[in-house]
Amino acid sequence: MNGVLAVLQRELKAYFYAPLAYVVLTFFLLVQGYYFSVIVAYLSDPRYPAGKPLELFFGQTIFTWLVLIFAGTFLTMRLISEELRSGTIETLMTAPVSETQVVLGKYLAALAFYVFLWVPTLAFVVIVRYFTPVDWGPIAASYLGIFGIGALFLAVGLFASATSKNQIVAAIASFFFVLVLFSIGLLESLANGETAKAVFGYLNLWQHMDDFAKGIVDTRRLVYYASAAAFFLFLTTRALQAKKWR
Amino acid sequence: MIEAQQLTRRFGDFTAVAGISFSVPEGEILGMLGPNGAGKTTTIRMLTGFLPPSSGRVTLGGRDLFGDSVAVRRQIGYLPENVALYPELRVEEYLGWRGRLEGLDRATMRRRLPLVLDRCLLGDVRRQVIGTLSKGYRQRVGLAAAILHDPKVLVLDEPTVGLDPKQIIAIRELIRELGREHTLLLSTHILPEVELLCQKVMIVDRGRIVAEGSPAELRERWQGAFGVAVELAAPVTGVAEALAELPGVESAAAADGEGRRFRLSCARGADPRGDVFRLAAARGWPLVELAATRASLEDVFVRLTTRDEDAPAPAGEVAR
């Protein structure tokens, strides 16, 4: 546990001591603020059907996804590849900590930063609440969904980071894996058989997020994120161990 | 304390280390010498648990390094060859991090941190960001981190590279001190360092141990013939021939172009210096120097690690 905490703490420092965190944070908030204002403008236009701004903010649009996919990639690409490139991995792997502890520490740091990234969006909730009553259930569900899917994407990104010394290669790999995970569920609408439809439906992240935004929480989906994230973290540990043998 | 048995490491078809065995008793300093690419760093990486050996095993204090990895690694302090640090951290922060990684509690850290900063001459840069430090300082930060948790075993891969002469002397003094409290394995290119610090030396080439023993033993075993250097104040003819006639002298040759310096190669056990002096006195040669030339560890090293085809005559050796 101490090892995990030590790694976690160092990674958080690394986020905040480097410009990348601030760049990501700024762009994230700019983009989110822009989306929110677009949604509000759209809903205030009498020509368009009425709707709930926060439901649209979290679901039904591509906006959420663009942010999720990129944030996952940018937050994780450096985590392991930088250690491989600079050689600090040697210090880390000869210290009395296991690969699992290192991976967990790094993952939790990324997850913490990811949560930190989303906290300011609570301002949108406050703004909406100022003008109109809000239903808290769907909002809580939306953040749960954002957390779950983000947790999965970060695990994928961390794995990609362990595959290359080069951050850019890691980022591209992560982007690719995440895109596959995201789009595999979209096959639901193209699938013919009952089983195929059910399987793709189970993996349909777009649909999941739509439901979360409406306040529907299906535990099977949370189990999917948790188990897939655990699987990718396991792969990351294995990738680190495999480095020793090459 | 450190026990390596038949360590072998292959990378694909290439064998970097081919069956190296050695042991370092508690409180001793073992020096590992070898040319670039001899397998020193690979050997060290196997001893610190970074690389698993293809075959063979390492035990520290009787415990298997790969069976009991995390626990055994706690006893090792390691300074890697390229000291990689996190450039964004301050020296103190970095050492604090290493302390946590080693599982040191706050009280221990408060005690150890000023101690290692002082020992590694880092007091004046403790608040500085590592990225702005010179190579010599980084090297010392790495060393400070390696000894922070007071490990039983210290493994130092080229600890004085990149330091200026004054720092080298200070760090050698520190290593010598550390050698009293820790079991130490030192890899280096720098031969005087080994002669100065190590009780035992092992010379490694192409993944094998080619010689081992104390520096004195190695010199004795590999020095070849005892040599004598003779220098005259002014050139005299016929000196080489006359010297070669002396008992115990196998050959004598001019060592310069003007006929003032000569080198004698002697039979084992023979010391003709007295005879040389009497001969010079009898013939009225203006003798200004008469010295025994002993092979340095450098000669031993060069001789052992030079391939036949490109062997230059090692310095200090007399033609036979």
Q: Is B82 on the interface with A (CB under 8 A)?
A: yes
Q: Under DSSP, is residue B250 helix (H, G, I), strand (E, B) or coil? A: strand
Q: Is B66 on the interface with A (CB under 8 A)?
A: no
The side-by-side arrangement of strands in the sheet containing B183-188 is: B76-79, B153-157, B183-188, B29-33, B200-205, B208-213
Last residue of a domain, one of B220, B244, B279: B220
Q: Do residues B27 and B172 share a domain?
A: yes
The answer to whether position B260 is within a domain reads: yes
Nearest CA-CA distance, residue B213 and chain A, Å: 29
What pLDDT score does B142 carry? 92
The answer to whether position B141 is within a domain reads: yes
The answer to whether position B209 is within a domain reads: yes
- Contact in structure between A54 and A35 (CB atoms under 8 Å): no
Task: Specify the number of domains making up chain A.
Answer: 1
Chain segment A129-183, per-residue pLDDT in tens: 888 888 888 889 999 999 999 999 999 999 999 999 999 999 999 999 999 998 8
Q: What is the DSSP string of A35-82?
A: HHHHHHHHHH-TTSPP--HHHHHHSSSSHHHHHHHHHHHHHHTTTTHH
- Quick check: A90 and B93 CB within 8 A? no
- Quick check: A17 and B88 CB within 8 A? yes
- Quick check: A94 and B84 CB within 8 A? no
Q: Do residues B120 and B159 share a domain?
A: yes
B123: tokens are 């007091």
Distance CA A63, CA B60 (A): 57
Q: Do residues B76 and B202 share a domain?
A: yes
Nearest CA-CA distance, residue A241 and chain B, Å: 10
B48 CB neighbours in chain A (<8 A) are 94
What residues of chain B, 112 to 141, have a C-beta less than 8 Å from chain A?
none
The answer to whether position B257 is within a domain reads: yes
**Burial (CB count <10 Å: 0-12, 13-18, 19+), residue B178:** buried
Say what the ipTM of the complex is: 0.84
B247: tokens are 């008992």
The answer to whether position B319 is within a domain reads: no
Identity of the residue in A2, A5, A14 whose CB atom sits nearest the CB atom of B88: A14
B93 CB neighbours in chain A (<8 A) are 13
B50 CB neighbours in chain A (<8 A) are 90, 93-94, 244
The answer to whether position B320 is within a domain reads: no
Q: Is B54 on the interface with A (CB under 8 A)?
A: no
Compute φ and ψ for A7, nearest 5 degrees.
-65, -45
Distance CA A14, CA B66 (A): 31
- Contact in structure between B68 and B16 (CB atoms under 8 Å): no
Identity of the residue in B71, B78, B85 whose CB atom sits nearest the CB atom of A94: B78
Q: What chain A residue is nearest to B93 in terms of C-alpha separation?
A: A10
Task: Specify the number of domains making up chain B.
Answer: 2
Q: Do residues B151 and B235 share a domain?
A: no
Neighbours of B236 (CB within 10 A): 16
Q: Do residues B213 and B230 share a domain?
A: no
Q: Which residues contact B216 (CB under 8 A, 6 or more apart)?
A: none
- Contact in structure between B277 and B287 (CB atoms under 8 Å): yes
Q: Do residues B126 and B268 share a domain?
A: no
Q: Under DSSP, is residue B53 helix (H, G, I), strand (E, B) or coil? A: coil
Last residue of a domain, one of B205, B220, B235: B220
- Domain range for A130: 2-245
Residues of chain A in Cβ contact (below 8 Å) with chain B: 2-3, 5-7, 9-10, 13-14, 17-18, 86-98, 244-246
Place of tokens 């680190």: A240
Q: Do residues B171 and B234 share a domain?
A: no
Output the CA–CA distances (angstroms, integers) from residue B110 to A44, A184, B15, B105, in the order listed.
Answer: 61, 54, 45, 9
What pLDDT score does B312 carry? 44
In a mutational test of the B interface, the residue from A1, A8, A9, A10 whose CB has the highest number of chain B CBs within 10 Å is: A10
Where is B11: in which H helix or E strand?
strand B2-11
Low-confidence residues in chain B, pLDDT < 50 = 308-320
Name the residue among B157, B48, B114 with its Cα closest to residue A92: B48
- Quick check: A96 and B74 CB within 8 A? yes
Q: Is B91 on the interface with A (CB under 8 A)?
A: no
- Quick check: A97 and B70 CB within 8 A? yes
What pLDDT score does B318 carry? 35
What pLDDT score does B77 carry? 92
DSSP B318: P
Q: What is the largest CA-CA distance in chain A?
A: 65
Q: What chain A residue is nearest to B149 in terms of C-alpha separation?
A: A95
Q: Do residues B244 and B183 share a domain?
A: no
Name the residue among A91, A15, A5 with its Cα closest to residue B100: A5
Nearest CA-CA distance, residue A52 and chain B, Å: 45
B217: tokens are 């033993």
Q: What chain A residue is nearest to B82 in terms of C-alpha separation?
A: A87
Question: What value, to the nearest 5°, has the Cα angle with vertex B190 and ends B210 and B228?
Answer: 75
Backbone torsion region of residue A21, taken as left when φ is above 0, otherwise alpha when ψ lies between -120 and 50, otherwise beta? alpha
A96 CB neighbours in chain B (<8 A) are 70-71, 73-74, 101-103
CATH of the domain at B244: 3.30.70.100
Q: Do residues B20 and B107 share a domain?
A: yes
Low-confidence residues in chain A, pLDDT < 50 = none
- Quick check: B101 and A244 CB within 8 A? no
Strand partners, B251: B265
B153: tokens are 């075993």
- Contact in structure between B163 and B143 (CB atoms under 8 Å): no
Q: Do residues B123 and B65 share a domain?
A: yes
A98 CB neighbours in chain B (<8 A) are 69-70
The answer to whether position B312 is within a domain reads: no
Q: Do residues B235 and B134 share a domain?
A: no
- Quick check: A91 and B80 CB within 8 A? yes
What residues of chain B, 226 to 265, have a C-beta less than 8 Å from chain A?
none
Identity of the residue in A2, A6, A14 whose CB atom sits nearest the CB atom of B86: A14
- Quick check: B49 and A7 CB within 8 A? no
Nearest CA-CA distance, residue A87 and chain B, Å: 5
**Burial (CB count <10 Å: 0-12, 13-18, 19+), residue B7:** buried
Q: Is B316 on the interface with A (CB under 8 A)?
A: no
- Quick check: A96 and B82 CB within 8 A? no
Q: What chain A residue is nearest to B65 in terms of C-alpha separation?
A: A94
- Domain range for B270: 225-294
- The residue count of chain B comes to 320
What pLDDT score does A147 carry? 94
